[in-house]
Chain A
């Protein structure tokens, strides 16, 4: 006899591992740092979140123990992952990491407040 909670636990764990796998594949396949930051900041967040949700459901169903720490873990991952992606992309941009050659448009280079990386490297 399979309980409904077992199905949820298995589904969330499988979805989580699948998204983590897709994140890893994206890190290999995507061409430059910024597109990789897309994969890392989105898929990894959802992957870790659904694995933690499955942990919560498992312990509630099996032991009747509700782990508030795991809930806090989900919350912290949700808050910090996009900030991490943003900071890595920003630091990369100001360290002259080039965009992929297929990139269409670069408005940040036209920003008057910050000097264009290429200009900055010639001026030095």
Chain B
């Protein structure tokens, strides 16, 4: 992915030298033309065209912001409710992610999602121990959210 990005910048500089105009606008034109050429040649690369992971990353970021707001509204309703009816607990969650940065990103996302907080990660990076604010309702909703998070992270790194 980073190789393709570097190649695209190189193509943009090539365009600037061809057009003999060294300005930001000609860089952008060259970048877009290089993007087009690389899209046409995308079968020559060993991994997939780099706009895919990039778009997936942007979608992950917006999902992150959305989850942050939802998490806050949920904590808000728990704190401001006159009667404190929560059932906290720690549950184990098996993750399929392999690289360290993926597990880090997933645990950051889980910590900022509604009612969950990562307490510990097992030594082999396979199990996350998550403290849930309200166990009975958290289990199913949270596992679906996390599955979609995991899919999104895999989509970025595929």
A30 within 8 A of B: yes
The number of chain B residues with a CB under 8 A from chain A is 34
Name B104's closest neighbour in chain A (CB-CB). A83
A122 within 8 A of B: no
Asked if B87 contacts A104 (CB within 8 A), the reply is yes
**What residues on A are CB-neighbors of B91 within 8 Å?**
105, 107
Name B139's closest neighbour in chain A (CB-CB). A105
Q: What are the interface flags for A87-108 relative to B under an 8 Å C-beta threshold, 1 for contact and 0 otherwise?
A: 0011001000001101111111
Q: Interface majority SS on B: helix, strand, loop or mixed?
A: mixed
| Known contacts A82-B108, A86-B117, A93-B120; A34 and B72 CB within 8 A of each other | no
Interface stretch among B15-23, B42-50, B52-60, B76-84?
A: B76-84
Residues of A96-124 at the interface with B, using a CB-CB cut-off of 8 Å, are 99-100, 102-111, 113-114
The number of chain A residues with a CB under 8 A from chain B is 40
B7 within 8 A of A: no
How far, in whole Å, are A55 and B129 apart by their CA atoms in the complex?
A: 37
Asked if B118 contacts A86 (CB within 8 A), the reply is yes
User: How far apart are A108's CB and chain B's nearest CB, in angstroms?
Assistant: 4
Asked if B79 contacts A26 (CB within 8 A), the reply is yes
Residues of A1-56 at the interface with B, using a CB-CB cut-off of 8 Å, are 19, 22, 25-26, 29-32, 34-35, 37-39, 41-43, 45-46
B68 within 8 A of A: yes
B119 touches which one: A19, A29, A43, A108 (CB < 8 A)?
A108
A29 touches which one: B79, B115, B117, B131 (CB < 8 A)?
B79
15 more A-B contacts (CB under 8 A) besides A46-B68, A89-B118, A105-B90?
A31-B84, A41-B112, A41-B117, A42-B68, A42-B72, A42-B75, A43-B72, A89-B131, A93-B120, A103-B87, A105-B91, A105-B135, A106-B89, A107-B92, A110-B92
Q: List 29 A-B contacts (CB under 8 A).
A: A22-B76, A22-B80, A26-B78, A26-B79, A32-B88, A34-B117, A34-B131, A38-B115, A38-B117, A38-B131, A39-B75, A41-B117, A45-B68, A46-B72, A82-B108, A82-B112, A86-B111, A86-B117, A86-B118, A86-B119, A102-B86, A103-B87, A103-B89, A105-B90, A107-B90, A107-B91, A107-B129, A109-B90, A114-B120
